[in-house]
Structure 1
Amino acid sequence: MTALAQQSAREVESHAISVDAATTVAMTLKALAEPLRLRMLSAIATSPAGEITVGELASLTDVSQPTVSHHLKVMRDVGLLTADRRGTSVWYRIKPAYRGAVNTLLDRFAPAAVDVLETPHLVGLKNAEPALDRMAASLTERFPGTPPNECVRVVRESYAALVRRGGTTTHLVPLTEQFARQRIIDAEKAHAQESGAAGARHLPQVLFVCVANAGRSQLAAALMRHYAGDRVVVRSAGSAPAADVHAGVRALLEKLNDSAAADAVDDVTRFYPKPLTDDAVRAADVVVTMGCGDACPVLPGKRYEDWMVGDPALASPAGVAAIRDDLDERVRALLADLVPQTT
């Protein structure tokens, strides 16, 4: 082997994980390479108490409890799960060290693996500059309290964020305008709150955040609007937004008659995944996270809640309905706390 070839081999070796690390990771992935185990893992990860029994897991399929116990043992042997016996039942939970990794697997990798053959990669518009310039000028007129250079920055950042999330370019311009306008509104509200502007009516503001903003957070926001009306300002966002809302969730949103964007040109711009921004968090009184881990910034003075709710992206129609019912109960409880007089 020539010196150049040896140097190239060393460079490749320096970029690859070690043999020991690869072996350990491969063993863990092998333990998960079985559909029933993945379903069990998702059930444990999203259970309200963070733990579940063998009997409850057996309801996922027609296999016997001993078969379920075998699959659980495989995941225990590689360190994914831990268990303890209380009375006559054995309770299984995800080991704390693996919690973040499991959330990433279920909330980001799994939906991407399902959608990878169906979701086209978005390429930005060939010449978006004139449209973005007109958009910034229009927002400058509409929001005189926001400097023109800030409007330009928000418009261009919003466009770039929506390009990154994927999808078609058909509605990219109206989506950018809608998203940029909302960001400016959030920034102005956050500034008014922080400066204690006198005479401003303060409505509770709730931000629902999940990974893709294509299921849980969209549905929770729609339910909150449905019950609260104009008593609460509601937003939703995603730490890694998808190209579109899940079809099963879109049907539920339409049934709820969600009016999140009264000026939307159609349902594509009415229900669309939105990137998470610092301004949205700053403007919120309550931030509800669902599976997005540490992606949401933690700011002082905000109330944070983390809801363990299943992901409708991978759920059956019955599972989506169960997720909707779970969110409905949680949303009504939160609303009763924020606006006690609401029935």
Structure 2
Amino acid sequence: MNVTLTADEACSPVTTHAIGPDAASSVATTLKALSDPLRLRMLSAIASDPRGESCVCDLAELAEVSQPTVSHHLKVLKDVDVLTSERRGTWVWYKINPQRRRAVTTLLDSFAPATVAATASDGASEESLRPDFDARVTRLADELSAEIPEVDEAVVLGIVRESYTALARTARVTSALIPLAERFARQRLSDLTRDRDTSVPQVLFVCVANAGRSQLAAALVNQLAAGKVIARSAGSSPADVIHPHVRSLLAEIEGDEAAERFPKPLTDDAVRAADVVITMGCGDVCPIIPGVRYDDWVVGDPALASREGVEAIRDDIAARVRILVQELLEETS
């Protein structure tokens, strides 16, 4: 039977914005590299590692396969620029390629959970498939309470929960939250129990994102003072990660310890524990605590600078830090 289409029913070409053949080929190559369960698990482990990177020896524990097999899978991910690597001694360390981090985060935090939820055979909800973070937070609080018996258990639990919640607001990968919350909670408990009469001077640097200048300033103080002055840093509106140029400079200053740094929100505990609070472009966000010295340093923002510009900002901060440390050591001598 012949069917005649009217003018309104006839198909007519329309302009589309479909992905081009070259781009499609590139994306397909990357997706093919990711289409292995072990590779996805290794990618997730690297993305969630609180150090910002993982050693091949850590990744070998994910499955009962030989180390050469692990290295092969990692090479596949490197070949499509999802991972970068660095050899240190006898081990190779892997991290997410900064240019692919947003894509990896979308894959692990959005696409993967949605896929698992859609294919769950028992019809479980997405909420029920998430790890039991509440139990882990409570267990962490119990461990810290045992270590710091002088602080009421309810206070410790409250600080741990607040620390976890504050970091969760900007976290890219939720599986890294527990170790980060532990480090943040330990710092807050240390601030809470600090004895000003017997402790070395403590400085708190505050900027907006805690992803650049305040991190550099704290690292430079700790390097120069060698334990005779303690420095903290925080942000009035912390970012999710430290600025890449700043991260590399922190590695030069602190070595492997730089991997322990992450943006943290400003807390009253940190301000109360400080002898000196120095703001860096964040305005009047700090609570005024009697007995605490306040100052404001006008320095450039690394987020707006080139690599050379960030190095100049570091040098500016370093000059100010030398004067500050000298003043504080003279006051305590």
Q: Same fold by TM-score, threshold 0.5 exceeded?
A: yes
- Contact 1:225–1:258 (CA under 8 A) maintained in structure 2: no
Does residue 299 in structure 1 map to residue 289 in structure 2? Answer: yes
Match of 1:320 among 296, 310, 316: 310
Q: Do the aligned partners of 2:145 and 2:151 also contact (CA within 8 Å) in 1?
A: yes
Q: Match for residue 235 of structure 1?
A: 232
Runs of 5+ in structure 2 lacking a partner? Answer: 1-101, 111-126
State whether structure 2 residue 202 is matched by structure 1 residue 205.
yes
The answer on 1:276 being equivalent to 2:266 is yes
The amino acid across from 1:131 in the alignment is R
Give the drift of 1:285: 0.2
Give % identity.
Answer: 51
Is the 8 Å Cα contact of residues 226 and 258 (structure 1) preserved in structure 2? no
Aligned-partner Cα distance in 2 for 1:184–1:282: 12
Alignment of 1:175-186 (within 5 A): 175-186=180-191
Indicate if the aligned counterparts of 2:210 and 2:264 stay in contact, CA closer than 8 A: yes
Secondary structure of the residue aligned to 1:145 is coil
Deviations 1:191-238 (A, max 9, x none): x33xxxxxx523111001101110000000001011001101111111
Distance 1:227 1:118 in 2: 39
Quote how far apart the aligned CAs of 1:299 are. Answer: 1.2
Q: Which structure has the greater CA radius of gyration?
A: 2
Partner of 1:331: 321
> 1:212, 1:241 within 8 Å by CA — same for their partners in 2?
yes
2:330 is aligned to 340
Aligned to 1:153: 158
Give the deviation of 1:170 after TM superposition.
3.3
SS of match in other structure, 1:295: coil
Aligned length: 212
1:40-69 deviation line (CA, Å, top 9, x unaligned): xxxxxxxxxxxxxxxxxxxxxxxxxxxxxx
Is 2:224–2:322's contact at 8 Å kept on the other side of the alignment?
A: yes
Equivalent residue for 2:221, pick from 200, 220, 224: 224
Which residue number in structure 1 is paired with residue 174 of structure 2? Answer: 169
One-letter code aligned to 1:201: T
Letter matched to residue 237 of structure 1? A
Asked if the contact 1:216/1:311 (under 8 Å) is kept, the reply is yes
Give the letter aligned to residue 146 of structure 2.
E
Whole-Å separation in 2 of the counterparts to 1:186 and 1:275: 14
Partner AA of 2:294 in structure 1: Y
Q: Retained in 2: the 8 A contact 1:120–1:166? A: no
Residue 138 of structure 1 pairs with residue 143 of structure 2: yes
Match of 2:45 in 1: none
The CA distance in 2 between the partners of 1:134 and 1:252, in whole Å, is 36
* Residues in 2 aligned to 1:178 and 1:259: alpha-carbon distance in whole angstroms: 16
Q: Please give the residue correspondences for 1:39-50 in structure 2 after superposition, counting only pairs within 5 Å.
A: none
What secondary structure, in the 3-state scheme, does the structure 1 residue paired with 2:206 have? strand
Q: TM-score, normalised by structure 1?
A: 0.58
Contact 1:165 1:240 (8 Å CA) reproduced: no
Residue pair 2:184, 2:264 contacting (<8 A) in 1 also: yes
Question: What residue identity is the alignment partner of 2:224?
Answer: Y
CA distance in 2: counterparts of 1:333 and 1:302, whole angstroms: 18
Match of 1:255? 252
Distance 1:164 1:153 in 2: 17
Amino acid at match of 1:156: R
RMSD across aligned C-alpha pairs, in angstroms? 2.5
Q: Distance in 2 between matches of 1:309 and 1:118?
A: 33
Write the letter of the residue equivalent to 1:182. Q
Distance, in Å, in 2 between the alignment partners of 1:154 and 1:136 is 8
**Letter in structure 2 aligned against 1:297:** P
Q: Structure 1 residue 148: deviation in Å?
A: 0.6
